Amino acid sequence: MSEIGCSEIDILLKTLMTSITDGKPTLLKHFIQRACANMFFQYMCSVRFDYKDNEFCEVVGFFDEIFWEINQGYAVDFLPWLAPLYKKHMNSLINWSSKIRSFILNRIIYKRENNNEQRQDDFTSALLKSLNEDSNVSRDTIIFMLEDFIGGHSAVGNLVMLIIMYLIKHPNVAKNIQLEADSVSKPSHRTINFYDMDSMPYTMATIFEVLRCSSSPIVPHVATQDTLISGYGVAKGTIVFINNHNLNHNKLYWKQPECFIPERFLKNTYEEQKSVQSKRKLNESEERENDIAEKNMIIKNTQSRGLQIRKGIPYFLPFSIGKRTCIGQNLVRGFGFILVANILRHFNISYDMNSEIEINTGSIALPTKPISVYLIKRKEIF
């Protein structure tokens, strides 16, 4: 997975470098979405598409349109009998979905079925194999599953673009990520990969803080049987939501929840160790000297050893909880991380001073209209 992501990152960075025009903005979201789509297509289907492939670009746009629509929380989502009033909306979703299905059938499924030499160890092969071996699995089911998994790239692309918008508004946070990325990638200036996550806790903390601030709604669940939750009766068939916004913005759980503070997801292990050590009385000078030497060594490696991500926060559930937790959360974290880290390592990013950056809580989905930003190559890299 890391190899797939890094390979696509290298192509994305080269594309961005050649597309930059001095003094002119770049439609960054389009490039990010196409890169994310290719990561998922390669991971699921062992194929990638050129960024200039018009049909591919169109399908990526349809996925983005659908992701935006399903995150709007229309009344019909909760009151199905309102469907006649949303006929135009439903027709658009059906049209986009049919074009996506046509693309996947023609460019992936049919080619895979007609070419036995293609890879047989990826997600697509597993689905096709289940179709042949399990009579309860229909062709429509496996195609829907493939569409659903590939569609997850839209969540990654929108999250990455949302992170970048937060970083434009908080340049000091962006600078900290760049310093962290530089320390990890030097001296060879290699591509940052999945295995660098633990070495870049500030970057991961920033991603988590964007997830907290955005408070995207958790996919609803349905009670499969009558049950009780804290004394409240929940009947079978009831739609159940986690109040994600309240969890992420509740002052009982977070200090200054209205503020963007990535550090809230970090713990300083050096400070914790120092606090414990300060309670001990050192009676011999040799012990004091050893302690000072150890302290200096830890300070020298503060970024890599002193800071760690806080784990197991019981009230932070960006990917839901239980058996129905987001199955693609590792892809979201992994691909999102390498995109943010490598883009920030290569570029300073700014926004048109005459435009307002509008960030609304309640969703990671961004409007499908073009989002223009200025990319400036960092002198530290080039």
- Binding-site positions for heme read 326
Q: Both tokens of residue 50? A: 């050129």
At residue 103, φ and ψ (nearest 5 deg) are -65, -45
How far does CA 350 lie from the centroid of its chain? 21
Nearest to 155, CA basis, from 194, 211, 193: 211
| Cis omega (within 30 of 0) for bond into 187 | yes
- Give the containing element (helix H, strand E) for 229: strand 227-229
Q: How far apart, in Å, are the Cα atoms of 360 and each of 92, 234, 301, 357?
A: 24, 32, 37, 10
Q: Is there a contact between 357 and 351 (Cβ–Cβ < 8 Å)?
A: yes
CA-to-CA distance for 355 and 372, rounded, in angstroms? 10
CB 249 within 8 A of CB 292: no
Distance CA 117, CA 113 (A): 10
Question: Which residues lie across from 239 on neighbouring strands?
Answer: 222
Bind-site residues: 326
Three-class SS of 201-223: HHHHHHHHHHHHHHCCCCCCEEC
Token code pair at residue 332: 């979201």
- Sequence-distant (6+) residues with CB within 8 A of 291 are 277, 282
Q: What residue type is 26 in one-letter code? A: T
The number of beta carbons lying within 10 Å of the beta carbon of residue 278 is 8
